[in-house]
Structure 1
Amino acid sequence: MQDFANRHVFITGAAQGIGLGIARAFAAEGARVTLADLDRERLAAAEEEVAALAADTAAFTLDVRDREAFDAVVGAAEARLGPIEVLCNNAGLGSATTSIADLDYRQWDHVLGVNLGGVVNGVQTVLPRMLARGGPGHIVNTASGAGLVATTNLTYVTSKFAVVGLTESLRLQPELVASGIGASVLCPGLVRTEVVRNSARAEGREVDDLIEKGHALLQQGGLDPDTVGGQVVAAVREGRLHIHTDRYVAPLIEQRMRLQLDALPPETDRDRLLAAQLRERQPTLTPPIAGRE
């Protein structure tokens, strides 16, 4: 998808941070932009800002965990701005919990419900509409560098690893390939956002010194969200699967892959036969999806 002028881009978690950076980037390309977010006050400010850049803009309050509300918002957005051609499932949060001993089911449900359930709901709500129209289209799911290498943040890592796998599997679906519908997974590193503070507040926790240290790290070492927005636009234009914002996790990715390869048993004739059969049946993740204009 080379030209975004007048194409409808729908973004969750769009009132601030990476979502707002993505919105500004697509708006600068002349897209029609729908902003969806749970924060009404910030959403109103974001809509006013993006409206100054976009061909047309809409904004809806949305809890991405609510499937009925998601369907209603998508219907209203398409009625106003036309068919959604780029879906950015960006809404997400971390977990302020620092010890596994402090975890409970409520925290698991909250993090997985937003970070994974929100992506599932976005895909399941919008993708059938894209397929029914026959494309073109593109889906961008926001994961994390923590979706590629583990950290001690158990709930967050679990949700983000799942988003990476979901997106890579989407990329292989023959119906999407035939319709020119691409899929990308955004794996940001440090970005200058309020996610640490917001996540703590969402869990009903006080913003303590530990949380403030995490926030300061993002502010001091993080990329500008507008930089990330530009990276997303470029990746959709090029049909790339993986969107990385920097390279600081590269040594950890290399280490993880080495551990995986080193754990494999010695190769046998059976392995070689099965590998050959798999290569014949399994599409590759490597080539970009061209996408029909």
Structure 2
Amino acid sequence: MSNEFAGKTAIISGGAGGIGFALAEEFGQLGMNIVIADIDQSQLAEAEQKLQDANVQVLACPLDVTNFQQWQDTVAATQAKFGDIHMLVNNAGVGGVPGSIEDTKLETWKWVMDVNVMGVVNGTQAVGPSMKRHGQGGWIINVASMAGMNGVPYSGAYAASKAAVVSMSESWAAELKKYNIAVSALCPAFVQTRIHESLRNLQPEYKEVKEQGTGGKRSANGVNKAKDLVESGIPTSVLAKRVVEALQSGQAYIFTHPNFRAPIAYRSSLLDAAFADAENSPIVSHLKDDEIKML
């Protein structure tokens, strides 16, 4: 299979570790210029050195994805070193803090949404225009989660943020198709990352979130369970190879865990049943044959 990635440039947020670094390694070995951007500057320097040792053309940029100016700075630095940008991986994200509806602090919701949703918006708004201008097409990979395809009890903020990432990906895929920019939502289940340790990079403005993260036995049990689930997941290197495979076959949704097909199919059956119920409704059944109108 031809290597359409060689010689092109990718920006990867959260690129210093976990999924982001695995993708940096994989695409780097395929000949891409790699820009790793991360809030953890010490880990960023280590990741840069590892990629250099592997003969990958790499640039490391400090980046808090909630800061649009830092995104713009990353784009400028990338263009100065490598020229055109062909791939954006919106990978940086946080897991939130496990908790019930009433126990999840509003500050936790804000933190999760700012990083997981607005971080993706910021990245796409900063990089998208340059990808459209050069006219060569490219790829945007938004890292969502299997949680974005189905809600998860006691993880409402995280699941909601990842559902938003899936929806944004679907919207942008239609919008950017004419520019030959493929948009994919990466929806893994458990992967061996440090997402359960998201509080380690908590920005100062969200300091009150730590109160929930250390909020007694119930919170500790939730964090420990999340740790066990993450550590039981697939290696990041397996995910990275799967991403390349899925891009080459043109997948809009990139799934890494086929064992989740049944629960997602069950959700689809509930949606279909809800449409059937609407078709049988004396109130709205007359709409079933109406033309579907879109913007």
**What is the TM-score of this pair, normalised by structure 1?**
0.88
Q: Which amino acid aligns with 1:240?
A: Q
Aligned to 2:192: 192
Q: Are the aligned partners of 2:40 and 2:201 in contact in 1 as well (CA < 8 Å)?
A: no
* C-alpha distance in structure 2 between counterparts of 1:142 and 1:226, whole Å: 15
Shift of 1:198: 2.4
Q: CA RMSD in A?
A: 2.0
* C-alpha distance in structure 2 between counterparts of 1:106 and 1:235, whole Å: 36
Which ranges in structure 1 are unaligned for 5 or more consecutive residues? 283-293
Shift of 1:270: 3.8
Q: Are the aligned partners of 1:96 and 1:200 in contact in 2 as well (CA < 8 Å)?
A: no
Q: Are the aligned partners of 1:2 and 1:238 in contact in 2 as well (CA < 8 Å)?
A: no
* C-alpha distance in structure 2 between counterparts of 1:81 and 1:122, whole Å: 18
* C-alpha distance in structure 2 between counterparts of 1:135 and 1:122, whole Å: 19
Aligned to 1:56: 57
Q: Deviations over 1:187-243 (max 9, x none)?
A: 010101111122477343349454233212221x20100111111122223322110
* C-alpha distance in structure 2 between counterparts of 1:258 and 1:155, whole Å: 25
Q: Are the aligned partners of 1:33 and 1:54 in contact in 2 as well (CA < 8 Å)?
A: no
Alignment of 1:229-268 (within 5 A): 229-264=240-275, 265-266=278-279, 268=285
Could you say what secondary structure the match of 1:272 adopts? coil
Alignment of 1:1-293 (within 5 A): 2-152=3-153, 153-173=155-175, 176-199=176-199, 202=202, 203-204=209-210, 205-206=213-214, 208-219=220-231, 221-264=232-275, 265-266=278-279, 268=285, 270-274=287-291, 277=292
Shift of 1:247: 1.9
* C-alpha distance in structure 1 between counterparts of 2:8 and 2:19, whole Å: 20
Identity of aligned residues (%): 31
* C-alpha distance in structure 1 between counterparts of 2:200 and 2:263, whole Å: 27
Q: Which amino acid aligns with 1:236?
A: L
Relative to structure 1, is the Cα distance of residues 210 and 151 closer, same or farther in structure 2, using a 3 angstrom cutoff? Answer: closer
Q: Are the aligned partners of 1:108 and 1:155 in contact in 2 as well (CA < 8 Å)?
A: yes
Relative to structure 1, is the Cα distance of residues 14 and 180 closer, same or farther in structure 2, using a 3 angstrom cutoff? Answer: same
Q: Deviations over 1:76-131 (max 9, x none)?
A: 12211221101000000111131222223211111000000010001111111111
**What is the TM-score of this pair, normalised by structure 2?**
0.87
Q: Which amino acid aligns with 1:197?
A: E
Relative to structure 1, is the Cα distance of residues 155 and 225 closer, same or farther in structure 2, using a 3 angstrom cutoff? Answer: same
Q: Are the aligned partners of 2:96 and 2:198 in contact in 1 as well (CA < 8 Å)?
A: no
Runs of 4 or more, structure 1, over 6 Å off, are none
Q: Deviations over 1:245-290 (max 9, x none)?
A: 112322221121111111221265641242xx55xx79xxxxxxxx
Q: Which amino acid aligns with 2:198?
A: N
Higher relative contact order (CA 8 A, sep 6+): 1
* C-alpha distance in structure 1 between counterparts of 2:37 and 2:156, whole Å: 27
Q: Deviations over 1:56-84 (max 9, x none)?
A: 10001100000111111111122112211
Query: How many residue pairs get matched?
Result: 275
Q: Are the aligned partners of 2:99 and 2:222 in contact in 1 as well (CA < 8 Å)?
A: no
